[in-house]
């Protein structure tokens, strides 16, 4: 199994909206990527929550049966459609994929 975790810090303003608005829109768009391909086992998008420690604004936690499933997800047209928006609103990105 491959775990795929991505965290983003967002710009204070981008695409004509503030950080909070863009975070909600990013979550909405990423949530549409749940269950896109066979072998996509888990998919959770969360926003930083007031009162809880967070050094990033948005996090994606996902699990895939194998590398082929992760690659199929990454190349899927629905996922690819989200990429330009994320690129426009993010200030920083961290990612880690690991096999368990």
| pLDDT at residue 19 in the model | 98
For the chain, the domains span: 2-99
Cβ pair 79, 73 in contact under 8 A: yes
| pLDDT at residue 23 in the model | 98
pTM of the model: 0.94
| pLDDT at residue 49 in the model | 95
The stretch 8-20 carries a mean pLDDT of: 98
Cβ pair 82, 33 in contact under 8 A: yes
Rounded Cα distance between 85 and 10, Å, is 11
Per-residue confidence band for 95, with pLDDT thresholds at 50, 70 and 90: very high
At residue 74, φ and ψ (nearest 5 deg) are -60, -35
Rounded Cα distance between 63 and 5, Å, is 9
| Dihedral sign for Cα atoms in the order 63, 38, 59, 76 | positive
Integer angstrom CA distances of residue 19 from 25, 35, 50, 57, 84: 10, 27, 14, 9, 16
Tell me if the domain spanning 2-99 has CATH number 3.30.1340.30: no
Q: What is the pLDDT of residues 63-85, one digit of tens each?
A: 999 999 999 999 999 999 999 99
Rounded Cα distance between 99 and 75, Å, is 19
Q: What is the pLDDT of residues 37-68, one digit of tens each?
A: 999 999 999 999 999 999 999 999 999 999 99
């Amino acid at each position: 199994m491959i775990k795929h975790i991505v965290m983003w810090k967002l710009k204070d303003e981008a695409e004509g909206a503030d950080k909070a608005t863009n975070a909600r829109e990013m979550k909405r768009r990423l949530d549409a990527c749940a269950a896109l391909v066979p072998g996509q086992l888990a998919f959770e998008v969360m926003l930083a929550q007031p009162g809880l420690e967070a050094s990033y604004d948005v996090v994606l936690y996902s699990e895939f049966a194998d590398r082929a499933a992760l690659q199929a997800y990454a190349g899927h047209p629905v996922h690819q459609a989200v990429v330009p928006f994320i690129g426009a609103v993010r200030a920083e990105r961290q990612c880690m994929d690991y096999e368990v």
